[in-house]
Chains A and B, each alone.
Chain A
Amino acid sequence: NAGVTQTPKFRVLKTGQSMTLLCAQDMNHEYMYWYRQDPGMGLRLIHYSVGEGTTAKGEVPDGYNVSRLKKQNFLLGLESAAPSQTSVYFCASSYSFSGVGYEQYFGPGTRLTVT
């Protein structure tokens, strides 16, 4: 049981390049989330998904797109990377929104640098 995994762990991009971050969970969780963490700040929600085929915007969605084609995977895309997107990206998942299994479990993070 690997929990939540993220690929890649590190990446350096040039301004304008595109990339996709992959999050995978093997816990049969319905809910998945993408957060970013900037220095001196807590995590902020980018996008999230309440189930396969559904996505929604979070607090800081601009410049990112997401897809959830399979229940176990949640992809975060940057179409044209900007230096302001330099950050550490975390994926999280939870079984439910409320009641049993509402707590979120996090992946190890991806450090992205845009030059």
Chain B
Amino acid sequence: AQTVTQSQPEMSVQEAETVTLSCTYDTSESDYYLFWYKQPPSRQMILVIRQEAYKQQNATENRFSVNFQKAAKSFSLKISDSQLGDAAMYFCAYRPMYSGGGADGLTFGKGTHLIIQP
């Protein structure tokens, strides 16, 4: 079974600075997808960024970028120029690319609580 580990329960960063959230995963699959979701206090799950495992180039979405290390099974999220609105829980998630009968949903880590200091 796949597992996703986020080793940082909480992170704090000064506004306008850069912060990196860590995520590691365990899988025997070679083709899969990785995601970062943001959950603000409203509890809405918002897709921040996604990465296809077959792509070597790291995904980027404005101030958000990832460092995808397939061999190390690592998928960290970097937030540049942190803003107060970035404060939220951040969840790393994994999903195999092909349907596996019962393993077709996202597997989530336990989350990292990101605090932005003004």
Residues of chain A touching chain B, judged by Cβ–Cβ distance below 8 Å, are 33, 35, 40-45, 48, 50, 56-59, 88, 90, 92, 97-98, 102-106, 108-109
Per the 8 Å Cβ criterion, residues 7-46 of B in contact with A are: 33, 35, 37, 42-46
Return 27 A-B CB contacts under 8 Å, by A number. Answer: A33-B106, A35-B106, A40-B110, A42-B91, A42-B109, A42-B110, A43-B106, A44-B108, A50-B99, A56-B101, A56-B102, A57-B102, A58-B104, A59-B105, A92-B45, A98-B33, A98-B97, A98-B98, A102-B33, A104-B47, A104-B106, A106-B44, A106-B45, A106-B46, A108-B43, A109-B43, A109-B45
Residues of A within 8 A of B104 (CB): 45, 48, 50, 56, 58, 97
Interface string of B75-117 (1 = CB under 8 A from A): 0000000000000000101000111011011111111000000
Chain B residue total in the interface (Cβ 8 A): 26
Give the contacting residue for B99; candidates A57, A59, A97; CB below 8 A: A97
Residues of A within 8 A of B105 (CB): 33, 35, 45, 48, 58-59
Q: For chains A and B in complex, what number of residue pairs have CB atoms within 8 angstroms?
A: 64
A97 and chain B: residue at smallest CB distance: B99
Complex Cα–Cα for A59 and B101 (A): 11
B99 and chain A: residue at smallest CB distance: A97
A90 and chain B: residue at smallest CB distance: B45
Complex Cα–Cα for A56 and B100 (A): 11
Residues of A within 8 A of B50 (CB): 103
Identify 8 new A-B residue pairs, CB closer than 8 A, beyond the known A56-B102, A103-B50, A109-B45: A35-B106, A42-B111, A50-B99, A58-B102, A58-B104, A90-B45, A103-B33, A106-B46
